[in-house]
A = this chain, B = another copy of it.
Amino acid sequence: MSKVITPQQQDYSKWYNDIVIQADMADHSAVRGCMVIKPTGYAIWEKMQQTLDKMFKDTGHVNAYFPLFIPKSLFEAEEKNAEGFAKECAVVTHYRLKTDPQNPGKLIVDPEAKLEEELIVRPTSEAIIWNTYKGWIESYRDLPLLINQWANVVRWEMRTRLFLRTAEFLWQEGHTAHATKDEAIAETRQMLEVYADFAENWMAMPVIKGVKTANERFAGADDTYTIEALMQDGKALQAGTSHFLGQNFAKAFDVKFANKEGKLDYVWATSWGVSTRLMGALIMSHSDNMGLVIPPKLAPTQVVIVPIYKGEEGLAKVSEVANVIKQKLQQKNISVKYDNRDSQRPGFKFAEHELKGIPIRIAIGERDLENGTIEIARRDLLSKQVIKIEEVENYVSTLLEDIQTNLFNKALERRNNLTTKVNTYEEFKKVLDEKTGFVMAHWDGTPETEEKIKQETKATIRCIPLNNEQEEGVCIYSGKPSTQRVVFARAY
């Protein structure tokens, strides 16, 4: 294959981009900052969607769909939220084109088709959804509302990177309404647990669960919970957030309900989301210089079988065995592809399947058949094993679980190695620059200190971990007393 991936060690950012492009995951588009998600990448996103959707439904949620556009006056209603997103909004101002009288065959925006009120392309849907909920909620009997939406959103980013930061991205956004504060907080935390479960047990990506500081909170939230992952280059990635919105949106949109005693009160809200950004996190958690590595539970194709043969007769002999193996594996709900293209040689196929991250490759040669054996290669370790054909089902089943576990353990070990406790600001800066990773340090709890550290080092507080260990100490920056360490890092 002529495709070459820049080694991670040489240029991490270029390595990432090479993987995305060369493994056919996504592509740049003609629209500034917008990506095309290619079939190979989209198939993984579909697996993510299916898994998450089931988790949401198992926790009592249903799906719905709300408009793409938000009238400006609604968008403004919750001031903090509006302020937080105002600088990155795509705005629709006209609803018609017309032929350019100066330039036949070309179109111009028809100045007579100007909207009375501009429409914002949703950067997030709290405003349009809470304006809708107002009509749906009258009494406690209408609560809770547990609704999720799969949608595209637009945030006009100046610096974009495929999957990690794009002007348009795909996501899900849950928006729930509750009668009590406690119930809303419980929901917020439940969805954080769902996200952590998905990240760790499906993406094989260990995460720290925690709460954001006021500076890093979602615009319009009382509290933002987050799962934070660590990429191979030692930078943090916020992988999912769950917001306790208090009564902020209920007040902005005047959404009240009658409680059991008939008294009117504002409704309590949550919202939570993960996006195609997870695709970037997946790539940067496991892949290597040969290409993508996909955890088996999210791999659209888990096993690929490659025949090694001479001539049509040879292929027929190998195919007979290959098809039996394929069928046996499929009966165990393992997804298998038999790559019997005659246009490519086995070596080319091996490289391609490695590049695209298929967890297990089975090679079957004519000589193997005589011995009753096949060769099995695992993508994560790039190691091979010859086994007896009759062992294949059990071997592959177990191996898929092994790979899933191994990927998680490897990522966890890396994260542990890249998590450092520091006690001074000097040490803090040195670790950030030389070792990178999560830095656990005491902080005085003020937004001012946090902001100064960010300006001086580009590190932010990723979160205050849930059930954080309490420990006396002094802030690395101000020297003021502190009761706990928080998680700092440079982040995507």
Contact = CB atoms under 8 A, between A and B. Distances in A.
Interface of A: 27, 29-31, 34-39, 42-43, 45-46, 62-72, 74-76, 79, 82-83, 86-99, 105-107, 109, 118-121, 128, 131-132, 135, 141, 147, 151-152, 154, 156, 168, 170, 343
A131 B36 CA distance: 11
Most chain-B CB neighbours within 10 Å: which of A38, A71, A343?
Answer: A38
A120 B113 CA distance: 14
A92 to B, nearest CB: 5
Across the A-B interface, the 5 shortest Cβ-Cβ residue pairs: A34-B67, A39-B62, A37-B65, A86-B97, A95-B156
Contacts of A46: 63
Contacts of A82: 97, 107
15 contacts: A27-B132, A30-B128, A31-B69, A31-B71, A36-B132, A39-B63, A39-B147, A68-B152, A75-B107, A76-B107, A86-B98, A90-B119, A91-B97, A91-B109, A141-B343
B96 A88 contact: yes
A31 B86 contact: no
Nearest to A91: B94
B87 A91 contact: no
Most chain-B CB neighbours within 10 Å: which of A64, A75, A86, A99?
Answer: A64
Contacts of A96: 86-89, 91, 156
Given A29-B132, A31-B128, A76-B106, 12 more contacts: A30-B128, A30-B132, A34-B67, A37-B65, A72-B97, A72-B107, A86-B99, A87-B97, A91-B94, A91-B95, A91-B97, A92-B93
A93 B94 contact: yes
Most chain-B CB neighbours within 10 Å: which of A43, A70, A154?
Answer: A154
Contacts of A98: 86-87
A162 to B, nearest CB: 13
A152 to B, nearest CB: 6
A128 B29 contact: yes
A260 to B, nearest CB: 12
Indicate how many identical chains form the complex.
2
A64 B36 contact: yes
Contacts of A131: 30
A96 to B, nearest CB: 5
Nearest to A127: B30
B68 A154 contact: yes
Contacts of A107: 72, 75-76, 82, 86
Nearest to A100: B76
B128 A71 contact: no
Most chain-B CB neighbours within 10 Å: which of A27, A95, A119, A152?
Answer: A95
A141 B341 CA distance: 12
A42 B147 CA distance: 11
A92 B121 contact: yes
Nearest to A34: B67
Contacts of A45: 65
A82 to B, nearest CB: 6
Contacts of A71: 30-31
B64 A42 contact: yes
Contacts of A74: 30
A154 B68 CA distance: 9
A97 B89 contact: yes
Contacts of A106: 76
Contacts of A92: 90-93, 121
Contact of A89 (B43, B68, B95, B105): B95
Contacts of A42: 62-65
Nearest to A26: B65
A75 B105 CA distance: 11
Contacts of A90: 69, 92, 94-95, 119
B95 A93 contact: no
B64 A39 contact: yes
A370 to B, nearest CB: 34
A75 to B, nearest CB: 7
Nearest to A146: B39
A126 B371 CA distance: 53
A118 B109 contact: yes
A38 B136 CA distance: 10
Contacts of A75: 107
A206 B139 CA distance: 43
A58 to B, nearest CB: 15
A63 B37 CA distance: 9
A301 to B, nearest CB: 12
Contact of A168 (B34, B35, B64, B68): B68
